Amino acid sequence: MDRLHSMSVLLAVVDTGSFSAAGRHLGMPLATVSRKVAELESHLKTRLINRTTRQLSLTDAGQSYVAACRRVLEDIAEAERAATGEYAAPKGELVVTAPIVFGRLHLVPIVAEFLTLYPDINVHLALTDRQVHLLQEHVDAAVRIGHLPDSSLVATKVGATRPLVCASPAYLSRNGIPRHPVDLAKHQCIMFEGLFPTGSWIFMVGQSAVSVQVCSRLMVNTAEAAIAAAVKGLGLTNVLSYQVAELVANGALEVVLEEFKAELRPVSLVHAGQSPLPLKLRVFLDFVTPRLRACNYLVESPRGTA
């Protein structure tokens, strides 16, 4: 038995939450994943994982053994990085992900500057409006928008944004301006499912957050598509303020229901928190963080601050 390899498989099972997810992460058949863990348990003569049909949990022995495995594998990885010179100079490839519009507006210019300063680092920038699993998809760093669930990820807040309801002047001229969230029942709406997957929009009415069901004439899976449809006059849409800042400034879109605007959503830069950090990731985080904090993710609309 290759014990180090089996340790890596065990950690993948624990970190991804299932044998099948670990297999996908490692590119390994499910049967092989199960066999590797079973071989470890046979070698140790103790059960490491409690298996049920719904979830996995570590036994007491498993918890202490997994912690020891992490230390052993991290020590080996650190020795290998030192041997290859990774700590001597930042080099290698970084995989970074961000929402589509955020990446285009804010991250691409910063990454371009970063690549100029660090010629031995390559960046694979994956822009998507779905939430990427860092461990399963081998991602080094990600921009996340919204409140983060408790996890092992390390997060650094770099700003805040908020959802805004907006429409083209032509649409508002034809259909009127909604004055209260309940007025949305009379309007055509464009739903961006990445921001409001339940089909309801959230507003602050007084001190309370209120969910309002809207009539979605069009549902799309990217913010850019929702914004483009709104500019064409198809209806009202609810997207994040930084996504429409330029269009609001030039009059292509108008913000409505500002007195009911939803609470701020944090913008965070996250990574898996491996220790020690590879130098390529450390210099990237140090470079990007202050520059992202200098960006303005909110919108000044003609009728007030959004």
pLDDT, position 305: 35
Helix ranges (H only) for the chain are: 3-16, 19-26, 30-44, 60-83, 100-102, 108-117, 169-175, 223-231, 241-249, 279-293
pLDDT, position 53: 64
From its phi and psi, is residue 170 left (phi > 0), alpha (psi between -120 and 50) or beta?
alpha
pLDDT, position 101: 92
This prediction has a pTM of 0.68
* End-to-end Cα separation, the chain, in angstroms: 60
| Burial (Cβ within 10 Å: 0-12, 13-18, ≥19) of residue 191 | buried
- The single residue listed with the structure tokens 């910063």 is 110
All structural domains of the chain, each given as residue ranges with its CATH number in brackets, are 3-83 (1.10.10.10), 92-161+265-301 (3.40.190.10), 163-263 (3.40.190.10)
pLDDT, position 150: 63
From its phi and psi, is residue 206 left (phi > 0), alpha (psi between -120 and 50) or beta?
left
pLDDT, position 302: 46
- Report d(CA 91, CA 140) in Å as an integer: 14
pLDDT, position 106: 95
* Residue ranges in the chain whose pLDDT is less than 70: 1, 53, 81-82, 84-88, 150, 275, 299-306
Q: Label residues 119-133 b or e (16+ Cβ within 10 Å = b).
A: eebebeeebebeeee
pLDDT, position 141: 95
- Report d(CA 220, CA 248) in Å as an integer: 21
- Report d(CA 241, CA 146) in Å as an integer: 13
Inter-residue contact 186 to 159 (CB < 8 Å): no
- Report d(CA 33, CA 56) in Å as an integer: 14
Q: Rounded to the nearest 5°, which phi and psi values hold at 97?
A: -130, 155
